Structure 1
Amino acid sequence: MATLYSVMDTLGSSTVEMPPLMHIQLVSMGCVTLDDITFEHVSEETLESLTEFLDELVETEECPIDADVLYSTGVLTLNLGEVGTYVINKQSPNKQIWFSSPFSGPKRYDFNNGTWVYKHDGICLHDCLSDELSKIFKRNIDMSMLAYGKSNN
C-alpha cells in the first residue's frame, strides 16, 4: 500500500505517493522530512541508547564525583558535577534534537543520512558528544555504534 510523503528537493517541497520501503530508503538518504511517528520513534531510540551508554559510563572510576544521568519525558541530563551539565532533548515541533554542552554550547541537530547532524558544521551528535567526553574522561569514547550514531553513507 502506497502512502503520501513530503519530499524536499532543490525546488521546494512536494507530496508524492510511494511504498513504505521507498520511504525508509529516502529517510536514510536525508531526502524526506520525518513524519511525526517516525520522528518520535527515531528520537526516542536515540535518547534511550545514549542513556544506557551514559549510565554505564558514569559508573566507571574515571567519572567525576557526583555524576548522574537522568532521562525523563524526552529530556536526557548528564550531570558531571563541577565539569558541568549536558542536556539533550527532542523538539517534536521542529523534529530536531537539541543539545546543550558546558563546552560547545547549544546546538540543534537534524536527522540526515541516518544520524543527527548539526547543519552548521556537519558533525553528528554522537561524534560531538564522544569527542567532548573523551577529553573529560581522558580516554577514547566512541558512541558511533549506538542507535543512529553513524551515517548511512
Structure 2
Amino acid sequence: MVRSNVSRLGRLASRTLQGRMAGANFSTRFLLPQNARAKFTPATPVSRAPFSTTSRTAKPLTPAQLKTAKPAELADQEYHELSDTYLDHLLTHLEERQDTSDDIDVEYSSGVMNIKTKNGVYVINKQPPNKQIWLSSPLTGPKRYDYVVVSEDQSSKQDTAVGAWVYLRDGTSLTELLQKEIDVEIDPYGLAD
C-alpha cells in the first residue's frame, strides 16, 4: 500500500471516529439529567481536531537567529534518522509529481538523488562524516545544509524547538530552495499527513 494511501486511511478513520464521538456526546446530553451530565463531562476539553490538517511551513531564519545559528550536535543515529526521513519524504513527493507530469524525473540510488528538470539536474546526497545534506543545483550551485535547531533555550517552551536543514551562509532551508527552484511543496517530516 502506498504511503500516501495509508495516511489518507488514517485521516478517514480519525474523521469517522470524531463523527461518532460527536454524535454520542450530543445524544447523551439530552438523555442524562443536568446533575448526572457533570459526572460524565471530561475534565479537560476534548479537541475536535486532534491531528492538524494544515502544513507547517518553516520560516527563514531571522538575521538575529542566523548570527547565532549553529549546526545541531547530532549523534550518528540521529543524523541518519533525520536525513533519511527528509530524503524519503522528498522522494515520495517527487515520485508523486513524476507520476502526474513529464517535467520531472527522479532517481534515488545508493544515497544519491538525481532530479532531472527543465533547468538541469539537481543532485542531493547525504554526507555522514560532516552530518550534512549536500545539494548541487544548476541554478544556484553547490550548497551544504546543516541541521539547525531554532528556539531551544531557557526562554522557549519545552518541546517547541524547530529544526530544518539550513544553508548557514544565507539562512535558507533546503525545503525553501526546492520549493522555489523545482516548485515542489513538501512536508519534510510528514507532519501534515
Residue of structure 1 equivalent to 2:75? 35
Residue of structure 1 equivalent to 2:106? 69
1:120 to 145, 169, 176: 169
Residue 73 (structure 1) shift: 2.0
Residue of structure 2 equivalent to 1:17? none
Structure holding more strand per residue: 1
Residues 58-109 of structure 1 deviation map (CA, whole Å, 9 limit, x = unaligned): 2233x42xx42111221111112x5311111000000000001111110000
Higher RCO (CA-CA < 8 Å; seq separation 6+):
2
**Superposition RMSD on alpha carbons, in Å?**
2.2
Give the partner amino acid of 1:147. Y
- Cα pair distance change 1:148/1:105, threshold 3 Å: farther
Give the partner amino acid of 2:127. Q
Residue 31 (structure 1) shift: 7.1
Structure holding more helix per residue: 2
Report which of the two structures shows the higher radius of gyration computed on alpha carbons. Answer: 2
1:142 to 182, 185, 191: 185
Residue of structure 1 equivalent to 2:132? 96
- Unaligned runs of 5+ residues in structure 1 are 1-28, 135-140
Residue 41 (structure 1) shift: 1.0
In structure 1, C-alpha distance between the alignment counterparts of 2:95 and 2:176, rounded to whole Å: 18
Residue of structure 2 equivalent to 1:54? 94
Give the partner amino acid of 2:125. N
Give the partner amino acid of 1:73. S
Q: Is the CA contact (8 Å cut-off) linking 1:70 and 1:76 kept in structure 2? A: yes
Give TM-score scaled by structure 2 length: 0.52
1:132 aligns with 2:181: yes
In structure 1, C-alpha distance between the alignment counterparts of 2:80 and 2:168, rounded to whole Å: 20
- Unaligned runs of 5+ residues in structure 2 are 1-68, 150-162
Number of residue pairs matched by the alignment = 110
Residue 32 (structure 1) shift: 4.1
Give TM-score scaled by structure 1 length: 0.65
Q: Is the CA contact (8 Å cut-off) linking 1:115 and 1:148 kept in structure 2? A: no
